[in-house]
Amino acid sequence: MTVILTTSPGFGKYGRAPQKLQELGWELIRCVDTSKPDGGVSDHIARADYMIVGLVPVTTEMLEKATGLKAVLKHGVGVDNIDIPACTARGLPVANTPGANADAVAELAIGMMLCLARNIPAGHASVIAGGWDRKVGTQIGGKVLGIVGLGNIGRSLVRMARGLGMQVIATDPYADKAFAGANQIELVKLDELLSRADYVSLHVFGGAGNASLINAEKLALMKPTACLLNLARGEVVDVDALSTALHESRLGGAAIDAYVSEPPDISHPIFSHPRVVFMPHSGADTLEAVENVGLMNIADIEELMAGGRPRRVLNPEVFGA
């Protein structure tokens, strides 16, 4: 029997995915024990044929125990928590699911902007506490949205924001210029984007290359009324610098869906600021997106088992010439 090990709580749970797994007859082992650093992977990895990765890192040490593993698949897009060179050294294909959850993440970005613009969390808290604290907000129509990273999520966000009447500027060294032109997006450098945008939404990969991409120096470029949204990875933003900017009223607000450590340490001063909206890394958590991602993972495993080469493989060199 084929054994699938997953560290993603949502894999195989929604839509057509559970029925598909039942039809295939695969054994599914869920390693989602939050009391253990690896979710419980070390207890079962030796039996796994395929691993479907959530947020638990895939390390060299973990792979050394994975004696029967044939491939590593990400239940999502970002693969910064997978040691791809280590997988390649062991001949293990690594695949992700680009585009499958783009609309879900983009919709959450819109929701976070609306929360900040209309003070929704504070209004909700006031009413259920028996109060009636009506705060005057702002409209997002006509505001400038700066998108950092014009990949699948960024492009989806463009379409939604334009529908709400926002002006969109973007930065991405590999931007699709045809898409930008067709959607009236002005492509600018990061510093200019930060200085002009009313909302800055981050949609870049994590990893060393983007660590502290938004630091104290970059935050100082932003308008004091502007809001920063991080739906990328925790390390992309220097959270100490962000907290300082917020508490010194040099920034209008922030929304965070990704953290360096998850769950985060809520003793950090940023968690006491009233103009920050927090989510538990759930940008991709919609029934539709989780179903799409899971079905893509299953399809890639089926193709690998049939001797094929999935087009979403990130290290094709493992297949040789």
Between the CA of residue 97 and those of 71, 77, 152, 184, what are the distances in Å?
14, 5, 11, 28
Mean pLDDT calculated for residue range 198-208: 94
Catalytic residue among 30, 203, 281, 312: 281
Q: Which domain holds residue 241?
A: 102-278
Query: Is residue 67 located within the same domain as residue 135?
Result: no
- pTM for this prediction: 0.91
pLDDT at 146: 98
Report pLDDT digits (tens) over 138-195: 999 999 999 999 999 999 999 999 999 999 999 999 999 999 999 999 999 999 999 9
pLDDT at 105: 97
Q: Compute the distance between CA of residue 94 and CA of residue 84 in angstroms, rounded to an integer.
A: 7
Report pLDDT digits (tens) over 243-268: 999 999 999 999 999 999 988 999 99
Query: Is residue 252 located within the same domain as residue 294?
Result: no
Report pLDDT digits (tens) over 86-132: 999 999 999 999 999 999 999 999 999 999 999 999 999 999 999 99
Rg (CA), the chain: 21
Query: Is residue 109 located within the same domain as residue 95?
Result: no
Query: Is residue 174 located within the same domain as residue 115?
Result: yes
291 is catalytic: no
Query: Is residue 59 located within the same domain as residue 190?
Result: no
**Domains: count for the chain:** 2
Q: Please name which of 166, 169, 221, 167 lies closest in space to residue 195, comparing C-alpha atoms.
A: 221
Q: Compute the distance between CA of residue 126 and CA of residue 122 in angstroms, rounded to an integer.
A: 6
Mean pLDDT calculated for residue range 295-306: 97
Q: Above 90 in pLDDT, residue 35?
A: no
Query: Is residue 138 located within the same domain as residue 53?
Result: no
pLDDT at 206: 87
Query: Is residue 110 located within the same domain as residue 73?
Result: no
pLDDT at 122: 96
Query: Is residue 292 located within the same domain as residue 268?
Result: no
Query: Is residue 139 located within the same domain as residue 270?
Result: yes
| CATH number, residue 92 | 3.40.50.720
Query: Is residue 70 located within the same domain as residue 146?
Result: no
Q: Please name which of 293, 317, 290, 301 lies closest in space to residue 10, comparing C-alpha atoms.
A: 290
Report pLDDT digits (tens) over 50-77: 999 998 999 999 999 999 999 999 999 9
In degrees, rounded to 5, the angle at the alpha carbon of residue 199 between the alpha carbons of residues 197 and 204 is 95
pLDDT at 34: 82
pLDDT at 132: 97
Catalytic residue among 233, 235, 291, 312: 233
Query: Is residue 239 located within the same domain as residue 226?
Result: yes
pLDDT at 207: 85
Query: Is residue 8 located within the same domain as residue 132?
Result: no
311 is catalytic: no
Q: Above 80 in pLDDT, residue 321?
A: no
pLDDT at 233: 94
Catalytic residue among 262, 268, 309, 317: 262
233 is catalytic: yes
